[in-house]
Chain A
Amino acid sequence: MTTMKVYLTDMEGKDHELLATEEWTLMEIIREGGIPILAQCGGSCACATCHVYVDPAWKAKLPEPSEEEVGMLDGTFDVTEDSRLACQIVFTKDLDGLKVKLASGSI
């Protein structure tokens, strides 16, 4: 079995290589990778405390955010066109190597 990875930059600019598992959400991959992430609602798209920026090169590989996710982003700050909620990104093989950055309000 090949191991898949997610590359995460934390709030201090430090890079982390995280073990990724298919069908897990990105929020779970970050949390189980030992990186503090608030994710207060536990992954139900109800709090906007797992806000990440997806590397522009990877954006096209992700399904479009739902209306609910876009709406929930109203409850956080420094939202850009790369903003997503990590709990709404389900990891697939196509995403091996995904690069993301944690946003303020998620730690």
Chain B
Amino acid sequence: MTETVAQNPIQTDAVIVGAGPVGLFSVFELGLNDIKCHLVDILDKPGGQCAELYPEKPIYDIPAIPVCTGTELTERLMEQIKPFHPIFHFGQMAETLTKLPDGKWRLTTDLGTVIEARLVIVAAGGGSFMPKRPPIKGIEDYEGKSVFYAVRKMDHFRDKNIVIAGGGDSALDWALNLQPIAKLVTLVHRRDEFRAAPDSVSKMRAMVAEGKMDLKIGNFTAINGADGQVTSITLVDDAKNASDFPCESILAFYGLTMKLGPVANFGLNLHENLIPVNTADFETSEPTVFAIGDINTYPGKMKLILSGFHEAALMAKKAFTYIHPDRRYRFQYTTSSSDLQGKLGVEKDGA
């Protein structure tokens, strides 16, 4: 599903930036208007915030669905858009957007996927999910060299003295996975309690008890080193005593946060990190680029999933005029239109 070859750009009608509920539903609305879509999302799964922030939390304000979780909403949307065969590019960030001489847009991702489309739908919510970065002075100088927020190659940590910071599943899983190959794994957490799978916690506790892993409780407040190479970190314990201890690599797992990211450089007008749109068709300052869902702003905007669904429908109506300029727009209901039912692949009953 993930494209890494840059030579052959993918050609499609519309590229949707963001596979959250609103990005997913726009596949449906665009599909009814005979517009094909590709979607790009930095997460490795659909659902956006619904999947990442509150997969298990109940949502009560989706029309006609008294209650569903973020995961269930995502699953239902995926089911609903199936007839339109959207193509997903997960785990990559939409990085650049450039206009081509023929009026099309070229979108590239950080993994090198290139998509050329007539329309761009920015449904990026609060922006890209990125790892939370500890507010430590100068940490950016070490990032990618000796401070990491993900493990790309385990071998990179072989025979290293590593610090793993955090108290959730990612921290625990990587502490356990890297322990056999690292010289020393020191787990650093602000309290002596962990919100992770109980099995991982007991395995970690056992290793610490056997002296195979170190556990230090406190907040890490400084990184010491030079030229991007960390040599030690400073830890402040509950009694506010600071101490340094040596290490060669740091893996920090504090979860994800949303940052607007490269969308800010797409050349669209921005207002307080939101994209102003008109409420007739949700087009941005750039014709053929639309913004729907939490990322847009207009008088009266409410950041609700249902607002994004409405915006998707109006966007798709305008999108139709760009993709099918030779056709007359026909307003139809899925209940009564055999044309739409055909697109959805549903049998008309009792007819």
> Any chain B CB within 8 A of the CB of A48?
yes
- In the complex, whether B132 has a CB less than 8 A from a CB of chain A is yes
Q: Is the CB of A40 within 8 A of B53?
A: yes
B190 within 8 A of A: yes
Report Cα–Cα, A32/B190, bound state, in Å: 32
A56 lies within 8 A of chain B by Cβ: no
Shortest beta-carbon distance from A86 to chain B in Å: 16
User: Given A46, A73, A79, which contacts B53 in the complex, CB threshold below 8 Å?
Assistant: A46
In contact, A105 and B135 (Cβ under 8 angstroms) = yes
B219 near A75: Cβ-Cβ < 8 Å:
no
Contact status B168-A74, CB under 8 Å:
yes
Set of chain B residues within 8 Å of A47, measured between Cβ atoms: 53, 255, 257
CB pair A105 B132 closer than 8 Å:
yes
Shortest A82–chain B CB gap in Å is 13
A74 touching B219, Cβ below 8 Å: no
Which residues of chain B from 256 to 310 have a CB within 8 Å of any chain A CB? 257-258, 303
Cβ-defined contact, B57 with A78, below 8 A: no
Residues on A with C-beta less than 8 A from B189 are 74
How near does chain A come to B241, taking the closest CB pair, in angstroms?
15
Q: Within 8 Å CB of B134, what residues of A?
A: 77
Cβ contact within 8 Å between B126 and A40: yes
- Whether A41 is near chain B, meaning CB under 8 Å from some CB there, is yes
A40 touches B258 (CB 8 A): yes
Residues of A within 8 A of B168 (CB): 74-75
| Central interface residue in A49, A75, A105, by most chain B CB within 10 Å | A75
Q: How many A-B residue pairs have CB under 8 A?
A: 51
- Cβ of B167 within 8 Å of any chain A Cβ, yes or no, is yes
Query: Which residues from A are CB-within-8-Å of B191?
Result: 74
Q: Does A92 contact B (CB under 8 A)?
A: no
- Taking CB atoms, residues of chain A closer than 8 Å to B53 are 40-41, 44, 46-47
Q: Is A76 part of the contact surface with B, judged by Cβ < 8 Å?
A: yes
Contact between chains at A44 and B54 (CB < 8 Å): yes
* B166 within 8 A of partner (CB): yes
Residues of A within 8 A of B153 (CB): none
State whether B135 touches A77 (Cβ < 8 A).
yes
Any A CB within 8 A of the CB of B195: yes
Q: Is A9 at the interface (CB under 8 A from chain B)? A: no
Does B90 belong to the interface (CB within 8 Å)? no
B257 and A79 contact, CB distance less than 8 A = no
CB closest chain-A residue, reference B57: A44
Say yes or no: A46 contacts B254, CB within 8 Å: no
Taking A40-B49, A74-B167, A76-B254 as known contacts, 7 extra A-B pairs with beta carbons closer than 8 A to each other, sorted by chain A number, are A38-B257, A49-B257, A73-B190, A74-B190, A74-B195, A75-B132, A75-B254
Q: List 17 A-B contacts (CB under 8 A).
A: A38-B257, A40-B49, A41-B49, A41-B53, A44-B54, A46-B57, A73-B190, A74-B166, A74-B167, A74-B168, A74-B189, A74-B195, A75-B168, A76-B254, A77-B132, A77-B219, A78-B219
Interface residues of B (CB under 8 A from A): 49, 53-54, 57, 126, 132, 134-135, 166-168, 189-191, 193, 195, 219, 254-255, 257-258, 303
Nearest 4 A/B pairs, CB to CB: A75-B255, A71-B195, A74-B167, A41-B53
